[in-house]
Amino acid sequence: MAAHYVTAQENMVELGQALGREEGAEVAAEHEARVREDARVDAREVTTATMVRQRVEAALGPLERLVTVCEKATAFPRELQRLLRDFEAALKGTNEASPDVPEALVAMVAKAEQLWEANARLAQEHLLETLQDINFYFTGDLTSPSDCEVAKRCRRATEDIPRLLQPPECPQSIPNVSPVSVELQELSPALLQPPVAVVATLDDLLATLPRRDMMLLRSAESLHWSLADFTRGLWATLYRIDGTWWQQNVSSDDDDPPISLSQALDAYKSTPGTPRNRVTTVVSKWQGSVATLLDSWVQLAGAATELSNTCREVATEAADRVATATARAMELQHKAACGRRGPRW
């Protein structure tokens, strides 16, 4: 660049000598104007790259929270897995010829189904719709609700969790036994809160990051599409706790209408000679659904960790871009100044 600049200055001197003082000054002024415009372009790039660096660095905090809340969301399927394991073990002690099903087994099934139903209603009534609202980051839909509206929706979802955990007034599929209502009242709201926190944290993250058209960095493109993949994965995970999806996957036979675990247990309890494997088949299929849900949350936590790594790469690249553009702008400003003080013809 220095050699190029020296050559340009020599050419200007020769041109000035050939054209005379007035024409040479005009050529020098045009050259200085071009150099100054290039310096302004670099200065604008410094400003943009600085903003990108600051915002992606600020996004590292929400990304760390995103990893944490995704990991906490695995508590719900893990609790269901524990209940199903305990139920399956206790079921083996019953007599098929004349089953005397302990009330504790009935209460265990009721608790598991109530947990699943509460989480499904949370997704249906709050989270899926709220997640749809924050999709404007990827679609550029200017009619989408503001970040503030998404935060309000998440707060309402959290406030609604105690209601969702209330035992049904007239449970249709759960046998009428006294321990059930007592057991259902002990459900922990903490099991349902992490999915709401995931949606709220994702919204905070997208509000922190600069727009895609402002990033101007190679790694930023990767960050954008990774965020889009994470959001699609979150949507699929929330859909997996939808009650309809579960009912279609938990049945004793593909040709039979879907039945709940409590219905299978009630039939086993009330009809002597009913094979126990009808209940265990439903348990096995439910365990598969719960395992799928757990795996989804684990994968989301891993994806959030990868997002953090990508975000750090963007911050590093932005810092390098700032340093390069700053040095280039200063050099161009110096060239413009030298050109203004250049040789007199």
Q: Count of CB atoms within 10 A of residue 29's CB?
A: 12
pTM: 0.73
Angstrom distance (rounded) from CA 75 to CA 73: 5
Q: What is the tens place of the pLDDT at every residue in 234-286?
A: 998 988 765 444 444 444 344 444 568 888 888 888 887 778 888 888 888 88
- The pLDDT assigned to 142 comes to 44
- The pLDDT assigned to 250 comes to 46
Q: Tell me the CA distances in angstroms from 322 to 34, 217, 221, 235, 246, one per residue in order.
A: 22, 11, 18, 36, 51
Q: Count of CB atoms within 10 A of residue 174's CB?
A: 24
Q: Which residue has the tokens 């990051």?
A: 209
- The pLDDT assigned to 168 comes to 61
Q: What is the tens place of the pLDDT at every residue in 102-134?
A: 888 888 888 888 888 899 999 999 999 888 877
Domain layout of the chain by residue ranges: 60-209+216-317
Q: Which residue has the tokens 């660096």?
A: 53
* Regions of the chain where pLDDT drops below 70: 1-33, 35-46, 48, 135-147, 168-186, 211-220, 241-259, 322, 325-345
